[in-house]
Amino acid sequence: MPTATDIAAVKDYLMGLQDRICAALEQADGQARFVEDDWQRPGGGGGRSRIIEQGALLEKGGVGFSHVHGDGMPPSATAHRPELAGRSFQAMGVSLVMHPDNPHVPTSHANVRFFVAEKAGADPVWWFGGGFDLTPYYATEEDCIHWHRVARDACAPFGEDVYPRFKKWCDDYFYLKHRNEARGVGGLFFDDLNEWGFERCFAFLRAVGDAYLEAYLPIIERRRNTPWTEQQKAFQEYRRGRYVEFNLVWDRGTLFGLQSGGRTESILMSLPPTVRWGYNWQPEPGSAEARLVEEFLPPRDWLKEEH
């Protein structure tokens, strides 16, 4: 059962994670710096949003920390957990999205979070959630295998079944039902995690949070100097449209933030700076653009040769 001390330890870890990720990405960009925006939530709590824009590497990125609390849970949180209705809550987490300028460098997303709901006379209900996923535009098997290898290795100390289970959960979650299409090539996703007890669940959260830079930085370095054309940039912007569609239509975190009176600018900082939609646009058969949808987006076992 988490105590006030435990909750403070989670908060300390999350704020330190935000610091470490921002420092590493600033160094990778080499030009732009994160601008911090501290904010308060009228209903309780607040956070610090950090945004980087128009860098040598990153066209736009956001790394946000929030710790909000309130007397009642929003509908998005109680829809699949009706027993939480009427409880006070605390929610804290770090969420980030990086949108590189170069279409050959994938977009990445990561999120780690902790939730506790309390009511007088009842035991607190708590859980951890999070994960990270990759959204390439011009995909390579090398990058996808590396991303999933890091994800598997982060899960390994917690059981052989953890990576396959949370990898499938990621494939299922980041899926645009209205397009019958995955958002990217997946990674890890987990929610409502409390089955291992507090200490082990918190250790897993740290393993996932700490693995993000290990997964993403090598991909950045391999692809950042790949030349690109305006046509490839246009395809990146077209595919970014799918990212926007998922976040605004399906993402539970976005819905929770908006329904709980969160700060809209911080909730929507994940959206890319430039996007395009073309009516019924289709890639040329056999092209790299077509390969993305046909070969990379359908869920697959990226590590099958390593089992």
Catalytic residues, which ones? 109
Contacts of 301 (CB under 8 A, 6+ apart): none
Residue 247 marked in a binding site: no
Nearest by Cα to 303 from 105, 150, 170: 150
Question: Is 109 labelled a binding residue?
Answer: yes
CA 286 – CA 116 distance, rounded (Å): 49
List the structure tokens of 285. 């058969």
Phi and psi torsions of 137, nearest 5°: -110, -45
The DSSP-derived string for 204-239 is HHHHHHHHHHHHHHHHHHHHTT----HHHHHHHHHH
Task: Render the burial of 42-79: b for 16+ CB within 10 Å, e for the rest.
Answer: eebbbbbbbbbeebebbbbbbbbbbbbbbeebbebbbe
Q: Is 99 annotated as a binding residue?
A: yes
Task: Return the CA Rg of the chain.
Answer: 19
Does 95 count as an annotated binding residue? yes
State yes or no: 223 annotated in a binding site. Answer: no
Binning the chain into helix, strand and coil, the percentages to the nearest 5 are 45, 25, 30
Contacts of 6 (CB under 8 A, 6+ apart): 198, 202
Q: Is 307 annotated as a binding residue?
A: no
66 assigned to a ligand binding site: no
Task: Work out the angle at residue 224's Cα, subtended by the Cα atoms of residues 216 and 273, and round it to the nearest 5 degrees.
Answer: 80
113 is in an annotated binding site: yes
**146 is known to lie in a ligand binding site:** no
Q: What is the largest CA-CA distance in the chain?
A: 63
From edge to edge, which strands make up the β-sheet containing 186-193? 35-40, 45-53, 58-70, 88-100, 107-118, 125-135, 186-193
Question: From the annotation, which residues make up the binding site for a divalent metal cation?
Answer: 99, 109, 148, 178
Which residues belong to the annotated binding site for substrate?
A: 95, 111-113, 261-263
List binding-site positions.
95, 99, 109, 111-113, 148, 178, 261-263
